[in-house]
Each structure stands twice: as structure tokens, then as C-alpha cells.
Amino acid sequence: MGFIDVIKAKAKADKKTIVLPESEDRRTYEAAAQILKEGLADIIIVGSEEAVKKGGEGLDLTGVKVVDPATSDKTAAYIDKLVELRQKKGMTPEQAKDILLNQYLYYGVMMVKMGDADGMVSGACHSTADTLRPCLQILKTKPGTKLVSAFFLMEVPNCEFGENGTFVFADCGLNQNPNPEELAAIAASSAESFKALVGAEPRVAFLSHSSMGSAKHADIDKVVEAVKIAKEQNPDVMMDGELQLDAAIVPSVGASKAPNSPVAGKANVLVFPDLDAGNIGYKLVQRLAKAEAYGPVTQGIAAPVNDLSRGCSAEDIVGVVAITAVQCQMQ
């Protein structure tokens, strides 16, 4: 049974309510139909009855709850709450009403905030910034979290590396050029996410173009410092670096380049030095190795809200909804 099949089984065992606010995108409806068919979650779509009927034409959406902000009896309470949350930023009732009636991502986040949904998935036709902005404004960060970050759960077919071909790649969606403290925080969160979702012990590799001092550069120094911080803060988690990609995941190369490392050659959590490397890395694996890439999954927000790549398929949305539902179970 593959990773996503395990996640789907977990989601089915304790169904959660997930809101999909992108009612303008056909993929939302295709995913919703599949989610309902598989029994993975209860689904709310934000939009008018007319728009949803048109967008879901030809699909069986029996069981979908449609919430129209213009007519919902919950909207007034959402407006009041948004004003309360953002009054220090000058939010007025008129502004809050305009935002909630016209920006469905904000409405979806308010549903999560008010307990009318357990989680939200968005990003098929919105940028990561647009998806995360309302989350950070309304839901805030998870207590004890130093940094909100994003990872991809990669499932590589016919792969003996990682955890039977399953990896967490981070940060591939949010933090542009993390400093050592931020890189260490990303690693800690990613290890926790890997253990929670995959159910195996994380082995975290901090990636670089150098392995254990084989090259010298300020970029390498950043990674070395991040490893030091991460190990001090997470003594019970297997972490090491800096490691080149092959030294991190290929046993023979790891034994050659980092013979004393507990991680080299068997890493399953890959921490990239910056967003460029992470984004390029996950897309190379997705396209060339025909891997399933689920995400970007966010970590560090007070409630489960996950982003999507704008190039995602309906099947990708189904997978991220299942992951989000399992995150909701963990809350």
C-alpha cells in the first residue's frame, strides 16, 4: 500500500470537513466528486448555488455543502469576528463585508476560525501568498512554532531510496532564503510532519553542493550553522549535513562521503538551502521520475490550511485534501 493510500485510509476512518473556496475552477468540482466517492471528507464549496451548479455540471456532487457568502446566515458573525481580529489594523465592518463577500479564500479561513470547517485547501488558481495571507491574519501561527513553512510529500515509484520512495522535501513553497535559525526550524517542523504523516522515523539531511566540508562558501556556512542549531534544539531527531543529494540518499555514496553520519545514504527528509533549490528539486523529481507531489503542505499554522500548485491536477487536490484531513485529526 502506497503512502497516499495509507493517508486516505486514515482520512476515511475519522472524516473531517474541508472547505474548498475556489469555486471558479473546474478542478475543484472534479476533486470534490472524487473525494465524496471515496468517502475521504465532507466537502464545503464556497460560492453561489448557480455558480456551483454550472461549475459542477456533469459531475455527481451529491453531499457537497454549498455556502454562498451573500446569503449565508453565518456571514454577519464572520464580519463581526473579522473586524474584532483586525481592528488594530483599521478594519471596518464595511471593509470586512466587502472582503468576505468577494474574496472566498478569506471566507473559507473564517469558516475554519469559527469551527464550521476543520481545514481548507486552496491554491489551484491563487498564489501561495494569496492563500496564506488570510491564514496568517486570521488563524495565526501554531503555539510554539517559530516559522510557518511548506513542504511537499513526494512519492517516487519504484524507488529504493528514502522511506520506500517516500520523502518530505522542504521548504519548497514559502521561505525564499532562510537564515540558519529559520532553516533549523524548517527541519524540525518537517521531521515532525514526516513522522505524523508517514509513520516512520525521520532522517533529516541538510542539502548543499558540498558534503562535510568538501567545498567552502558562505552558502555552505549557512547550512553548517543550521545543522548545529537544529541538532542542539532537537537532540532526539536524526539530523546531519551539509550533504550533497547523492550522499544524502544513496547508501554507497553516503558511506564514501560521510562515513560517520547517521543520516547519510538513508535520508527521508530533505531540507533544501533555499526556495530556488527546493522548488526546482521537487519539480525535477515530479516530472522526470513521474513522482506524485502532494503540496505544498503548510506547517506551523494554528489550523490545517494547505496550498496547491497552480499546475495541480484534480487528483492532486484529492491527495492534499486527504493529507489535510489527517492533519485535522492530529490537532
Q: What is the pLDDT of residue 145?
A: 79
Mean pLDDT of the chain: 92
Cis peptide before 296, with omega less than 30 degrees from 0?
Answer: yes
Of 262-266, 296-300, 317-321, which gets the smallest average pLDDT? 296-300
User: Looking at residue 284, what is its pLDDT?
Assistant: 95
Closest by Cα among 239, 234, 259, 18 to 120? 18
The residue among 10, 301, 22 whose CA lies nearest residue 173 is 301
pLDDT of residue 331 exceeding 80:
no
pLDDT-wise least confident of 116-120, 247-251, 303-307: 303-307
pLDDT tens digits, 47-89: 998 999 999 999 999 999 999 999 999 999 999 999 999 988 8
Long-range pairs for 242-246 at CB < 8 Å and ≥24 separation?
A: 242/206, 242/207, 242/208, 242/210, 242/211, 242/212, 242/213, 243/205, 243/206, 243/207, 243/208, 243/211, 243/212, 243/267, 244/207, 244/208, 244/209, 244/210, 244/211, 244/214, 245/207, 245/270, 245/281
Cell 543550521 -> residue? 226
pLDDT at 1: 64
**185/163 Cα distance (integer angstroms):** 22
% of the chain beyond a pLDDT of 90: 76
What pLDDT shows up at residue 146?
80
Which residues, 6 or more positions from 260, have their beta carbon under 8 angstroms from its beta carbon?
none
Please choose, from the candidates 88, 76, 156, 65, the residue with its C-alpha nearest in 3D space to the C-alpha of residue 114: 76
Give yes or no for a contact between 1 and 198, defined as CB atoms under 8 angstroms apart. Answer: no
Tens digits of per-residue pLDDT, 171-222?
998 899 999 999 999 999 999 999 988 889 999 999 999 999 888 998 899 9
The confidence score (pLDDT) of residue 63 equals 93
pLDDT at 132: 84
Q: The pTM is what?
A: 0.82
Cα–Cα nearest to 295, from 274, 266, 265, 324: 324
> What's residue 161's pLDDT?
96
Name which residue leads in pLDDT, 7 or 143: 7
What pLDDT is recorded for position 317? 92
Q: Given a cut of 90, is residue 142 above it in pLDDT?
A: no
Q: Which residue has the higher pLDDT, 17 or 311?
A: 17
Residues in the chain: 331
- Say what the pLDDT of residue 189 is: 92
- Residue 173 or 11, more confident: 11
At residue 19, φ and ψ (nearest 5 deg) are -100, 135
